Structures are given as structure tokens and as C-alpha cells.
Amino acid sequence: DAAEKGGYEHFMLKEIEEQPTAVRDTLRGRFTATGEIALDEVRLSDQDLRDTDKVFIVACGTSYHAGLVAKYAIEHWTRLPCEVELASEFRYRDPVLDRSTLVIVISQSGETMDTIMALRHAKEQKARVLAISNTVGSTIPRESDAVLYTRAGLEVAVASTKAFLTQLVACYLVGLHLAQIRGVKYADEVAAILDELAAMPEKIQTVLAAMDPVRELARSLAGVQPVLFIGRHVGYPVALEGALKLKELAYLHAEGFAAGELKHGPISLIEDGTPVVVIVPSPRGRGLLHDKVVSNIQEVKARGAKVIAVAEDGDTAVVPHADEVVYVPVVPTLLAPLLTAVPLQVFACEVAGALGLEIDQPRNLAKSVTVE
Ligand code: G6P
């Protein structure tokens, strides 16, 4: 067991550290020199993909959060409407599906029963199903029309980390593939994004190398609750994932919110010293999102919050308002979750460690949930 952990105290820590390699493996050989993207097992014609008029992403838990990020990228790149749905809800609300609907199911294990049942429902309604999975030959890839494997390697810790990052990469590849096939994006634009993706493993490594202050912060806050996570755009699903990690590992009350929703309720939770982790969008990004998030920081700060900002290198605007700033390298906005999620994983892991909790096997949870 100790040998398998490769010198790490637990698998989760090892798997967090393996993320640069995992992302590199997900990307390897997935595109040609001319920027064309190759999926693994495609039993769908290019024409089927061209005929797609709507995309659904269906998943559970952390995989669902990867799907929420994917929605932003897929809609932006392909101009197809994309809805994201929890697998456990999907078939019960009679979703509108037909043969021109592409359903993307995301599952690390490939065996989550809620997701399997959603997939079967989609197929009964004649939708095309593409699986993103980490487990070769598992039920979900076997029953789907096309598969993209994430190649994260075996993930042992119940709380998903490297599988999540590789699911994001796989979703980006699917989005680019669809955009290319549908003629919305051209080879040079796709190649530019692929270059950015290819540079990600090193940037993730940079984030990992700078985690000591996050660990220290986690130890100083261990046990404090609630902990709120807020973000906008792709930072919103990252906030949800950060909160989920803390719930799973540290059994603390943690909630993720869209920063814009704060004023519609969650801000009432803030008391003196309440930690609020803020995923700050790039100041170079679209619209005025960055400035809006800086105002959100000021709002929570004024109510006594302890603000921990995860911001882009060089973003000095957050410094006067935040108690702590964790910087991550500059990347295109849509790809930022590959970096901003990492400090939140480390934070949750370290809080749980400081509380003396079992990291790899949190109570009441299972790695793969094979019942509905
Ligand atoms: C369980 C695990 C989570 C995982 C979810 C979906 O709840 O504890 O970490 O995100 O299942 O699993 P899947 O294998 O379908 O991605």
C-alpha cells in the first residue's frame, strides 16, 4: 500500500500531484499536426455530429462540475445550445431528445448507476451518446456511440482530482472537435487553443509548486464553517467543486455560489470571520466580470468575511480587498478551471488532514456509486 502511494501520505495527495502528467496523457496523440482532433472509439459519423442541433451533458458529482465548465466552452466554440443535467434528474423530467441531440455522459468510473440509466434513456429516445470516461471497457463507454477516454490513470481516493482535470481537457477536445466538424472554428483557431492546452501541464505544475501558503491557510482555518466559495462564468462551477471537496473530505458546511447570486440570499450567511473563497476572473476576460467580482469581494469584506482570492498572475486589483491572494498563471478564460481548481483541492485535503480525518475514504462515500 505504502509503495503504491509512492511516498505520499495518501492517494489523494499523490493524485493531486499527478495532475500535470494526467493532463499531458489526456492530450497525447489526440490531434494531428493540422489540428484535427481524434476521438477514441467513434461509432458516429461526421454527418451525425454535423446534424447535431443540441447538446446535453449528463453526469454526477465532480463529473457534473466538469460538465458545467464544458457548457461555457461548447456553447462559445460551437454555437450549439448546451444543457447540463444531473444524471439522477435527467430521465425523470422527460427531456426533449431526438436523433439530432448529442448527449455527452461524463463518468470517471463508467459505472455510476444514475449515469447509466440516463444514458439508456437517451438512447431509447434515439439521441447520440458520447462518453467521457476514465475506465476502459466499463459499462458507460460500452453502451455509448462514441468514447473519449481521459487516461488519468487509476484514481484511488474517493474525492476526485486528476479525473476532474482530465475530464475538463476531454470536454475541451470534444468542443473543439464539434466546432471544427461543424465549420464554426477553423484549423488555425483550433490550433491556437490546442497550443494553450499543450502548455497546461507546466502551468498546473507551477500552481502545485506554490501551494505552501494554501496549506498554511488551510491549517489556520481548519474546522471553521461555513466556508463559502463564489465565482462567475467558469469560476462558478469551480466554486461548486471547491465546496464539494471540502464537504467530502472535511465534513464541513461549504457552499458554492454564483457570485452574482450573493445579493439574492447567500450574503446573509456572512458573519465576522466567515471564509469566502473567491475565484476571480481574468481582468483581460470578457465584459466587466472581473470588476463585478472585485465589487463582490468588497461586499463580503464589508460584512466581515475573510476573503481568499484565487486570481490571475499580475491581478493587483484584488490585493487591497482580499486577506489572501493565491495567484495562478495567465491562461485563456475558458481554460482557467484547469488551474483555479487545484488550490481548492489542496485546501480541502489539508483541512481534512489538520482535522485528523481519513483522506482517501471519507465516511459515507463511495468511489463508484452503482445504485440509483
Ligand atoms: C461518487 C464519487 C465522486 C464522483 C461521482 C461520479 O459520488 O464519490 O467523486 O464524482 O461518484 O462518479 P463518476 O465515476 O460517474 O464520475
Question: pLDDT value at position 2?
Answer: 61
Rounded average pLDDT over 338-356: 98
Per-residue pLDDT at 41? 77
Query: How far apart, in whole angstroms, are the C-alpha atoms of residue 298 and residue 236?
Result: 18
Name residue 102's beta-bridge partners: 55, 128
If you measure from the C-alpha of residue 344 to the centroid of ligand 1, how many angstroms do you get, rounded to a whole number?
Answer: 18
For residue 228, what pLDDT is reported?
Answer: 98
Which residue's CA is minimally distant from atom 4 of ligand 1? 61
What does the pLDDT read at residue 191?
84
Q: What is the pLDDT of residue 35?
A: 67
Closest CA to 36 of 156, 185, 210, 228: 185
Q: Closest Cα to residue 155, out of 165, 142, 145, 144? A: 165
- Which pLDDT score, from 0 to 100, does residue 32 have? 76
Q: Is 109 in the pocket of ligand 1 (CB under 6 A)?
A: yes
Kindly give the number of the ligand 1 atom that is closest to the alpha carbon of 114. Answer: 15
Model confidence pLDDT, tens digit, residues 20-45: 999 999 999 888 777 677 877 788 88
Percent of all residues in the chain with a pLDDT value above 70, rounded to a whole number: 98
Residue 251 has a pLDDT of 97
**Is residue 71 annotated as part of the catalytic site, yes or no?**
no
Is residue 370 in contact with ligand 1, taking CB distance under 6 Å?
no
Q: What count of residues does the chain have?
A: 372
Report the separation in Å between the CA atom of 343 and the middle of ligand 1, taken as the mean of its atom positions: 20
Separation of CA 59 and ligand 1 centre (Å): 9
Residue 160 near ligand 1, beta carbon < 6 Å? yes
Atom of ligand 1 nearest to the CA of 365: 8
Q: Is 233 exposed, middle or buried (0-12, 13-18, 19+ CB in 10 A)?
A: buried
Task: Note the pLDDT of residue 190.
Answer: 84
For residue 97, report the distance from its CA to the centre of ligand 1, in Å: 25
Over the chain, what is the mean pLDDT?
Answer: 94
- Mutate which of 106, 112, 359 for ligand 1 pocket (most atoms within 8 A of beta carbon): 112
- Interface confidence, given as ipTM, is 0.96
Question: Does residue 74 carry a pLDDT above 80?
Answer: yes
pLDDT of 3 above 70? no
Mean pLDDT to the nearest integer, 48-72? 97
